[in-house]
Structure 1
Amino acid sequence: MKATNTAEFIGELNAGVFANQIGHALSEVAAGVVDNKKVGTVTVTFTMKQIADSHQVTVNHKLAYKVPTKRGSRSEDTTLDTPMHVGSGGRLTLFPETPHADQMFSREDAPIHAKS
């Protein structure tokens, strides 16, 4: 069984925007923690739901964070969905797994056949 590549998975959520949001949240919280000497939090939550009877799931990804401030804290959260394919062993990928990674279709599957 080949497990899901975590870095690739997070990078594919919302076309890479989610990874940037996590980086921004981590930086803001870390800065608030150091500046105010209080505890901050960053929470990432994934919820998955099957799409019809397919080998696809909708991955609901939520990012919530709490930045400590001088007189309290401020928080923000965002929630979005990304459809993903479920491959062998549960491996999550943006595109379906194929026998040959560089070739999605065989010549026999081509919609227009070459003239002879």
Structure 2
Amino acid sequence: MKPTDTAEFIGELNAGVFASQIGHALSEVAAGVVDHSKVGTVTITFTLSQIASSHQVTVNHKLAYKVPTKRGSRSEDTTLDTPMHVNEGGRLTLFAEAPGPGQLFDRQDAPIHAKS
């Protein structure tokens, strides 16, 4: 079983924008923590739900962060969805992987069966 490539997975969410948002949040929180000697938080939440009866899921990805300030804190959150394919072994990718080299379908998945 080949597991989901985490870096690739996060990079594909919302066409790469989610990865940039994580970087921005981490930098904002880290700066606030150092500037004000208080604790900050960055929270990433993934919720997966199947799309109809397909081998696809909707990945709901939420980023929430809390930046410490001089007199308290400020927070922001964002939530978006990205459809992903579930491949062999549960591997999540933006595009479906072929079941074998050079082929898109297994013989039993052929849309039209050969006449006997």
TM norm. shorter chain > 0.5: yes
Instruction: Quote the Cα distance in structure 1 between the aligned partners of 2:18 and 2:79.
Output: 10
Q: Could you say which residue in structure 2 is the equivalent of 1:58?
A: 58
1:31 counterpart SS class: helix
Does residue 3 (structure 1) correspond to residue 10 (structure 2)? The answer is no
Residue type of the alignment partner of 1:7: A
Q: Could you say which residue in structure 2 is the equivalent of 1:86?
A: 86
Instruction: Quote the Cα distance in structure 1 between the aligned partners of 2:28 and 2:103.
Output: 41
Structure 2 residues not aligned, in runs of 5+:
106-116
| Count of aligned residue pairs for this structure pair | 104
Q: Could you say which residue in structure 2 is the equivalent of 1:31?
A: 31
> Given the two structures, how large is their TM-score scaled by the length of structure 1?
0.86
Q: Could you say which residue in structure 1 is the equivalent of 2:70?
A: 70
Instruction: Quote the Cα distance in structure 2 between the aligned partners of 1:8 and 1:105.
Output: 21
Residue type of the alignment partner of 1:9: F
Instruction: Rate the CA distance shift 1:53–1:22 in 2: closer, same or farther, 3 A.
Output: same
Instruction: Quote the Cα distance in structure 2 between the aligned partners of 1:38 and 1:2.
Output: 41
Stretches (4+) displaced over 6 A:
none
C-alpha RMSD over aligned residues? 1.3
Residue type of the alignment partner of 1:28: E
Compute the displacement of 1:33 (Å). Answer: 0.1
Structure 1 residues not aligned, in runs of 5+:
107-116
Residue type of the alignment partner of 2:57: V
Identity %: 82
Instruction: Quote the Cα distance in structure 2 between the aligned partners of 1:8 and 1:92.
Output: 9
Instruction: Quote the Cα distance in structure 2 between the aligned partners of 1:11 and 1:54.
Output: 23
1:52 counterpart SS class: coil
Which deviations, in whole Å up to 9, do the C-alpha atoms of 1:16-35 show, x marking residues without a partner? 00000000000000000000
Compute the displacement of 1:105 (Å). Answer: 5.6
> Given the two structures, how large is their TM-score scaled by the length of structure 2?
0.86
Q: Could you say which residue in structure 2 is the equivalent of 1:44?
A: 44
Residue type of the alignment partner of 2:35: D
